[in-house]
Structure 1
Amino acid sequence: MFEFKLFAKSVFGIALGGLIFATQANAEQIPGRFMPVIGRASAPIGHVEFCQNYPQQCQYGTKTPLVVRLTKERWQELLNINATINQEVRPFTDEQLFGVAEYWTYPQGAGDCEEYVLEKQRQLAKLGWPKSALLITVVKDLNNGGHAVLSVRTDQGDLILDNQVSSILPWYSTPYRYVKRQSARHAAAWSSISDKRVTTVASIPE
């Protein structure tokens, strides 16, 4: 994993200060660091059912989504949560655990990519991270298969917490094609992502 100073200098080149919040609109004036969101998208069926089972987790809404200033302390929290959950949750498919193709829930020691994401989101929220900065995100992987990661909205850009990659990377440095993500304005809504980067997965057909 990156040392914090090396990460900040080589990837972003910006000195980091204390913890503050900024509006999403202000943050998105920096091109490239933030995923281009272009409008509404349908929610994955797994998330729809998750909201039915955990309605309190899907009631959050705000008119002013926040991003987090990435201090050394906040960066360490991301590293700790990502590493701990990746180590503690054993990888199993929904078919193996629940006998269905898709089922989103909090892990009980095992789960697939969505369980990792949901638990990381929950643990970071417990540490005081704003929910509008912790967004479930659907991508296509190198095999054109569906995969879920957690996008974390910081003043340095969108960072990705992933159960398949131990490092925390800027979204544009991951080997994925980004499809849609949870809305920063309402936990039950989803937004489309316009990922037009020339990447390995961008040439793979839908």
Structure 2
Amino acid sequence: MKFIKTTLNLTFTAAITLSTMGVANASPARFMDMGKSVKAPIGHVQFCRENRQACAGRNDGPVVVRLTEARWNELINLNAKVNHQIKPVTDQKLFGKAEYWTYPRSGAGDCEEYVLEKQRKLLAAGWPKSALLITVAKDVKNEGHAVLTVRTDQGDMILDNQIEAVLPWYSTPYRYIKRQSTLEPAKWTGISDQRVKTVASIGN
């Protein structure tokens, strides 16, 4: 997965303004429109089989994190740090498989390794599991891509390895397909993304 370093740096105030605009205009909304339960990606099923503790448990009261300036800066710094610590290498080259989800090894990995490492580090920093959700999308080339959705009171924020800036979900050039359930980390929920035309125009 090619890493595209973007020079865009959103300040905390700008990020809140973008998120508020989403609510005022009603389309897009601050939060993804979640649908029915769907099958987990095969790579995540394999990951959970090998890392049972990471996928165990149930959240009876999913938490939406209050996005203070300190929390915002923590997201920006961690996203940038992980992006620069991991060298982008495909699963085929690393493991001899087209798809294999795991924590990064030897400082290398593809998009899922970036996501899993960011999730792991934020959990270690005290962020709630129900607010840190692995999310699958189609990128501008219509290829599968994984990002980390962080659920905040200002909307769903995206941590990505292709774009260094942390952005509200609707400001990214992706079409979102599904993400981890807020209730059970081993379960997944479909996403109704109505921005298909917008995403297509960005990709052209």
TM-score tier, shorter chain, comes to: 0.7 to 0.9
SS at structure 1 position matched to 2:115: helix
TM-score (norm 2): 0.88
CA contact (8 A) 2:40 2:187 kept: yes
Contact 2:20 2:30 in 1 (8 A): no
Q: Percent identity?
A: 58
Superposed CA RMSD in Å reads 2.0
Give the 3-state SS of the residue equivalent to 2:76 in structure 1: helix
The structural deviation recorded for 1:61 is 1.1
With over 3 angstroms needed to count, the CA separation of the structure-2 counterparts of 1:48 and 1:75, relative to structure 1, is same
Letter paired with 1:201:
A
Q: Does 1:150 align with 2:157?
A: no
Runs of 4+ in 1 over 6 A off after TM superposition: none
Letter in 2 for 1:147: H
Q: Aligned AA for 1:3?
A: T
Moved more, 59-68 or 91-100: 59-68
Match of 1:50 in 2: 47
Shift of residue 85, structure 1, vs aligned partner: 0.3
| 8 A Cα contact 1:41 1:191, kept in partner | yes
- Considering Cα pairs closer than 8 Å and 6+ residues apart, tell me whether 1 or 2 has the greater RCO: 2
2:198 is matched with which residue?
199
- Displacement of 1:201: 3.3
* Aligned counterpart for 2:65 among listed residues 49, 68, 75: 68
Q: Quick one: which of 108, 127, 130 aligns to 1:129?
A: 127
The answer to whether structure 1 residue 12 and structure 2 residue 19 are counterparts is yes
Report the secondary structure of 1:200's partner residue: helix
1:106-164 deviations in whole A, cap 9, x for unaligned? 00200000000000000001111000000000000111100000000000000000000
Aligned residues: 189
* 1-structure distance, mates of 2:20, 2:171: 16
Distance (whole Å) between structure 2 residues aligned to residue 70 and residue 160 of structure 1: 13
Residues 177 and 202 in structure 1, CA contact (< 8 A), matched pair in contact too: no
* TM-score normalised by L of structure 1: 0.87
Can you give the 5+ residue segments of structure 1 that lack an aligned partner in the other structure? 15-29
Structure 2: which 5+ residue stretches go unaligned?
1-8, 22-26
